[in-house]
């Protein structure tokens, strides 16, 4: 069903979209017929979204409200494989360590790791409870958004947005702000759920990425995120995906306990459901990840990760 009268794409200004998802509470997700960006339409109010972010347990939430980002707890400061990869890629693209701004820094875990790696860490975070915890760790974290932070022009060397761009109302404004504050040759690195992943392709409108996080507004593919970055004045350096995550619903059927648990999981962020924590299931999951890892390079992984350089 085409939607025209009230739709204006935040990426290309297209005015025609097709319906992808209509949930029982009336929430709808559409795809722009011009650039193919998928988004919630209409967006929730600022007040509704802010009420989610300011909850003290936002980063601890359970599936069914919002996903819960317990991975961002500081905990033992030992970099995971993903964090190591990201720091290595940033050092490769910007060998001269300088100021690293992490937008949506949560409790500041990545900032602390970046500081250990020689960067000068700076954060921006909307969640007031998370800002408090990050500051208690000795970090310089600005409460609010990138727009309200009002950072000086050409003042930052690297900007990271790990699982953030899907939350913003205007990705071009966000990327424009980043281009403004980055020095010439500065680097931006982003990650976001991949709406072109293997599981998204298998599940279509049932893809859990559309349903589990009520504060996710945008659903990017490598093509739409590349378009956004280039439109904001960036040159793409590297694109990769992580964690190929096939649909257990399609393999085992929609109503089995394993399929239900996996359908509600968020690879790399949420803790596996109890039914998935048994040794046999975990062994199967590890074997699956090893067998399917080549598909990450084909762009079919759950998490989309892009590195880009500001065009001087």
pLDDT value at position 77? 74
pLDDT, the chain, mean: 86
Strands 120-125 and 156-162, bridge-based pairing: unpaired
Cβ contact 109:89 at 8 Å: no
pLDDT value at position 62? 41
pLDDT value at position 278? 77
| pLDDT band of 265, cuts 50, 70, 90 | low
- Count of all residues that appear for the chain in the document: 312
Domains (range + CATH), the chain: 1-42 (no CATH), 47-87+156-245+291-310 (3.40.50.150)
Provide the percentage of residues in the chain whose pLDDT is more than 70: 81
pLDDT value at position 64? 40
pLDDT value at position 184? 96
DSSP structural state of residue 220: B
pLDDT above 70 (res 254)? no
Report how far residue 116's alpha carbon sits from residue 103's, in angstroms, rounded to the nearest whole number: 18
Residue 17 β-bridge partners: 3, 32
pLDDT tens digits for range 197-241: 999 999 999 998 998 888 999 999 999 999 999 999 999 999 999
Query: Average pLDDT of 110-132?
Result: 96
Which H helix or E strand runs over 72?
none
pLDDT tens digits for range 139-194: 999 999 999 999 999 999 999 999 999 999 999 999 999 999 999 999 999 999 99
pLDDT tens digits for range 7-64: 999 999 999 999 999 998 889 999 999 999 999 999 999 888 888 888 877 766 443 4
B/e letters for 170-207, b = 16+ CB within 10 Å, e = fewer, are ebbebbebbbbbbbeebbbbbbbbbbbbbbbebbeebb
| pLDDT band of 281, cuts 50, 70, 90 | confident
Q: Is 28 exposed, middle or buried (0-12, 13-18, 19+ CB in 10 A)?
A: middle
pLDDT above 60 (res 122)? yes
The structure's pTM equals: 0.84
Say which range, 82-86, 152-156, 265-269, has the weakest mean pLDDT: 265-269
């Amino acid at each position: 069903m085409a939607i025209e009268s009230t739709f204006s794409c935040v990426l290309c200004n297209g005015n025609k979209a097709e319906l992808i998802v209509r949930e029982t509470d009336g929430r709808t997700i559409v795809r722009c017929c011009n650039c193919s960006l998928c988004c919630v339409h209409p967006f929730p109010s600022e007040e509704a979204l802010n009420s989610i972010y300011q909850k003290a347990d936002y980063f601890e939430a359970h599936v069914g409200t919002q996903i819960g980002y317990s991975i961002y707890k500081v905990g033992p400061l030992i970099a995971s494989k993903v964090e190591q990869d990201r720091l290595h890629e940033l050092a490769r693209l910007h060998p001269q360590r300088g100021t690293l701004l992490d937008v949506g820094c949560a409790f500041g875990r990545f900032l602390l790791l970046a500081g250990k790696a020689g960067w000068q860490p700076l954060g921006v975070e909307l969640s007031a409870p998370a800002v408090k915890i990050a500051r208690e760790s000795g970090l310089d974290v600005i409460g609010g958004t990138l727009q309200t932070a009002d950072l000086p022009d050409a003042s930052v060397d690297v900007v990271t947005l790990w699982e953030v761009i899907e939350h913003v109302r205007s990705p071009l404004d966000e990327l424009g702000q980043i281009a403004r504050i980055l020095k010439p040759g500065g680097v931006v690195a982003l990650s976001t759920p991949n709406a072109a992943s293997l599981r998204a392709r298998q599940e279509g409108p049932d893809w859990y990425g559309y349903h589990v996080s009520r504060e996710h507004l945008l659903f990017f593919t490598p093509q739409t995120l590349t378009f956004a970055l280039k439109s904001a004045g960036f040159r793409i350096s590297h694109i990769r995906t992580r964690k190929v995550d096939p649909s257990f619903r399609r393999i085992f059927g929609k109503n089995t306990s394993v399929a239900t648990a996996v359908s509600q999981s968020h690879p790399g962020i949420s803790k596996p459901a109890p039914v998935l924590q048994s040794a046999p299931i975990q062994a199967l999951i590890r074997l699956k990840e090893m067998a399917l890892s080549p598909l990450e390079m084909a762009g079919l992984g759950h998490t989309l990760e892009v590195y880009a350089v500001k065009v001087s």
